[in-house]
């Protein structure tokens, strides 16, 4: 019994001497014998980065009322899971009493430029459209959305072209 006590005391002294010399980290070695469980999973949230939405209300005396322009820069965080762009264009059927030569060409152009300056989306639509694009693990940094559209509308008469471009990103909190 006496030998066992002497052995335990010697082991404790050796451990103390080694830990003070910097060879063994007592707190670090404690982790070898304790279970902390799995590391916590990163927390993500879905964030709206840009929302370009417009319903046309045209005035024949105001040529600017036929067009819509939107530009927005936004930042994508490092380790974002995905980035989505949802595009909706509604071009209504115009009443027959409106002469076709008075109506400009109606369209929607959407351009999304990535953080490295390259175009990710650069599309032009001339018909009613619903489209979606998704980028997995998008580049972090500043992105830019540019929307140009031409349309017509008169809400009182019951017809109105509309556009919507929505960009969402799933990124770490």
Q: How far apart are CA 40 and CA 32, in angstroms?
A: 19
Does the pLDDT of residue 17 top 70, yes or no? no
What is the CATH number that goes with domain 44-172? 2.60.120.380
DSSP E strand stretches across the chain: 44-55, 67-76, 82-90, 107-113, 119-125, 129-136, 141-150, 153-154, 159-160, 162-172
Q: Give the tens place of pLDDT for each residue, 51-106.
A: 999 999 998 788 889 999 999 999 999 999 999 999 999 999 988 777 767 788 99
Whether 11 and 24 have beta carbons less than 8 Å apart is answered as no
pLDDT in tens, 118-147: 999 999 999 999 999 999 999 999 999 999
Which of 5-14, 28-37, 105-114 is modeled with the greatest confidence? 105-114
Predicted local distance difference test score (pLDDT) of residue 23? 56
Token output for 3: 């030998």
Q: Could you give the residue range(s) of every CATH 2.60.120.380 domain in the chain?
A: 44-172
Bigger pLDDT: 10 vs 144: 144
């Amino acid at each position: 019994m006496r030998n066992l006590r002497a052995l335990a005391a010697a082991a404790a002294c050796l451990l103390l001497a080694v830990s003070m010399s910097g060879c063994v980290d007592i707190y670090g070695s404690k982790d070898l014998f304790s279970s902390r469980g799995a590391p916590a999973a990163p927390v993500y949230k879905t964030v709206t980065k840009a929302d370009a939405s417009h319903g046309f209300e045209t005035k024949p005396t105001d040529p600017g009322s036929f067009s819509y322009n939107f530009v927005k820069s936004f930042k994508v965080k490092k380790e974002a899971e995905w980035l989505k762009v949802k595009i909706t264009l509604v071009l209504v059927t115009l009443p027959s009493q409106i002469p076709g030569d008075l109506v400009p060409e109606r369209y929607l152009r959407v351009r999304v430029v990535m953080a490295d300056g390259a175009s990710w989306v650069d599309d032009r639509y001339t018909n009613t459209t619903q489209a979606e694009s998704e980028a997995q693990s998008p580049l972090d940094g500043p992105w830019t959305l540019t929307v140009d559209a031409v349309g017509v509308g008169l809400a009182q008469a019951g017809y109105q072209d509309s556009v919507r471009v929505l960009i969402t990103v799933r990124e770490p909190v």
